[in-house]
Structure 1
Amino acid sequence: MAGHSKWANIQHRKGKQDKLRSKMFSKLSKEITVAAKMGEPDVDKNPRLRLAVKAAKSLSMPKDVIDRAIKKSQTGDAADYTEIRYEGYGPGGIAIIVEAMTDNLNRTASNVRSYFSKCGGNMGQTGSVSHGFDRVGEISYPVEAGDGDTVMMAALEAGADDVESNEDGHWIYCAMDALNEVSEALEKDLGESSESKLIWKPQVVTEVDLETAQKLMRLIDTLEEDDDVQDVTHNFDIPEDVAAQLEE
């Protein structure tokens, strides 16, 4: 089994989620409102809303904030957001997918294009890099859920396609339209997951050196700072020796 991306691990160790917690709350609140507006404001009847609420809870978002975001979808206060995907290349030719939710397409497109340009990359056309990724469901579990073999067996029985495990946890992958079904089946054997979501999974990852890693981190941080950007995906990996230098 291949190890999960070291980039994800270094983000965790550097406490990035804590640093961006308030911004993540804002973005997740937007996703919850949009999900509830597009479907039903009931997590049991709305798979997208259920995933959004689970993501919010994984970051310890207060229940009253979640409830407010759901209620907002049923009032005239909810803005009309458009979901859009931008694709491009970062330093070193690394493929990057940017998913955004905006009430002003011109503003968001202009901002994202400028981030790529200022950070040594360039924005391409839709489809220019996504062909190198698979759209799949990802379900993550902490290492305490069990050893690799136990998790692998539970995942296969639940209908998953692949599992990656290392000392930091387990990541289970399945077809995008099977995410809720597989997630619910896994809960019976492994308990509640840390997170369940749809992702762009790179078909091939590229290891980068220290200089390129630093430039890519700057671009990704800049993109994630934008209020309209919901998620940023890439296809690079950081070797352990480079990761150690980044943490110094």
Structure 2
Amino acid sequence: MGRAFEVRKASMAKTAAAKTKVYSRYGKEIYMAAKAGVPDPEMNTGLKRIIDEARAKQVPADVINRAIEKAKGGSEENYHAVTYEGFGPGSASFIVECLTDNDNRTYSEVRNCFTKSKGKIGVNGSVVHGYDHVGLLSFKHNDEEAIMEILLEHEVDLQDIELEEDSITVTVDPTSLHKAKEAIEEALGETTFDVLEITYLPHEYVTMSEEDMPNYEKMIKMLDEVEDVQNYYHNVESGE
């Protein structure tokens, strides 16, 4: 099975705590998208796309609606995106995406996750070269060739397609994620996506040793507890 399948499996196996973090993440992203334009997904393409991704992650409608209403209310909260890279226990590498209103606080908290887990935060570019930045879609279907034809007809920048256990996982260029979603829905009708996200796929996975596993698990837990961390990606096969 391929890299995309590993990511799909991990994405669908989130703990309750991780799901709460996902709700917070999309709440912020929806708020910022609504604040940046018209707070109506039918008139704001960026907002609509983030809402589509949130729904694929089972983010409740009330979380989505609260974020939009908050933007309508003229809240002064403002966030911007920052990304950190570094090396965890063993041979693990991490990419950490954050939304913050205070760079110094966020950097200090993320660096603390690395150092207290026997890792080291790196400079920009130190890790990302070992990953592919892709759009990922996964849904129930069993005709791989038909889906490939649909995507190519719609000029989607298709990178890979896998059929595994009656699910198709499609890897596309990040800019083609929503074009692919719309092409699939146009051809198949309303479709439930198990995964609909932009993510990082490592070129190679590593297995954490028994000795390094406690520090790896500690780092995962600490990252989950940092409010500004929106998402993180790593190359540990047996991980989250």
**Could you say whether these structures have the same fold, taking a TM-score greater than 0.5 normalized by the shorter chain as the test?**
yes
Question: Residue type matched to 1:198 in 2?
Answer: I
Instruction: Tell me whether 172-181 or 113-122 shows the greater mean CA deviation.
Output: 172-181
Instruction: Tell me whether 2-11 or 221-230 shows the greater mean CA deviation.
Output: 2-11
Question: Residue type matched to 2:225 in 1?
Answer: E
Contact 1:33 1:78 (8 Å CA) reproduced = no
Contact 1:155 1:163 (8 Å CA) reproduced = no
Instruction: Tell me whether 194-203 or 221-230 shows the greater mean CA deviation.
Output: 194-203
Tell me the alpha carbon deviations over residues 147-192 of structure 1, each in whole angstroms, 9 at most, x when there is no partner.
Answer: 5555455444452221234338432111122222111001223442
The separation in 1 between residues aligned to 2:65 and 2:208, in whole angstroms, is 42
Structure 1 unaligned blocks of 5 or more: none
Q: What's 1:216 paired with? A: 216
Q: What's 2:236 paired with? A: 236
Pick from 126, 134, 141 the counterpart of residue 145 of structure 1: 141
Q: What's 2:160 paired with? A: 162
Q: After TM superposition, give the deviation of residue 7 of structure 1 in Å.
A: 6.8
- Shift in CA distance, 40/194, structure 1 to aligned 2, threshold 3 Å: farther
- Shift in CA distance, 162/47, structure 1 to aligned 2, threshold 3 Å: farther
Q: Secondary structure at the match of 2:85?
A: strand
2:194 aligned with 1:182: no
Question: Residue type matched to 1:102 in 2?
Answer: T
The separation in 2 between residues aligned to 1:9 and 1:216, in whole angstroms, is 19
- Shift in CA distance, 177/91, structure 1 to aligned 2, threshold 3 Å: same
Q: After TM superposition, give the deviation of residue 6 of structure 1 in Å.
A: 4.1
Q: After TM superposition, give the deviation of residue 59 of structure 1 in Å.
A: 4.1
Normalising by structure 1, we get a TM-score of 0.81
The separation in 2 between residues aligned to 1:18 and 1:98, in whole angstroms, is 20
Q: Where do residues 16-27 of structure 1 align in structure 2 (5 Å cutoff)?
A: 16-27=14-25
Q: What's 2:26 paired with? A: 28
- Shift in CA distance, 12/59, structure 1 to aligned 2, threshold 3 Å: closer
Instruction: Tell me whether 91-100 or 38-47 shows the greater mean CA deviation.
Output: 38-47
The separation in 2 between residues aligned to 1:178 and 1:63, in whole angstroms, is 25
Instruction: Tell me whether 43-52 or 31-40 shows the greater mean CA deviation.
Output: 43-52
Structure 2 unaligned blocks of 5 or more: none
Question: Residue type matched to 2:141 in 1?
Answer: A
Q: What's 2:225 paired with? A: 225
Tell me the alpha carbon deviations over residues 55-78 of structure 1, each in whole angstroms, 9 at most, x when there is no partner.
Answer: 332344332331221122233314
Contact 1:112 1:223 (8 Å CA) reproduced = yes
Q: Where do residues 60-139 of structure 1 align in structure 2 (5 Å cutoff)?
A: 60-139=58-137
Contact 1:4 1:166 (8 Å CA) reproduced = no
Q: After TM superposition, give the deviation of residue 218 of structure 1 in Å.
A: 2.7
Q: What's 1:55 paired with? A: 53
Normalising by structure 2, we get a TM-score of 0.84
Q: Secondary structure at the match of 2:227?
A: coil
Q: After TM superposition, give the deviation of residue 11 of structure 1 in Å.
A: 6.8
Q: After TM superposition, give the deviation of residue 122 of structure 1 in Å.
A: 0.6
The separation in 2 between residues aligned to 1:40 and 1:110, in whole angstroms, is 34
- Shift in CA distance, 38/151, structure 1 to aligned 2, threshold 3 Å: same
Q: After TM superposition, give the deviation of residue 232 of structure 1 in Å.
A: 0.3
Coordinate RMSD, CA, aligned: 2.7
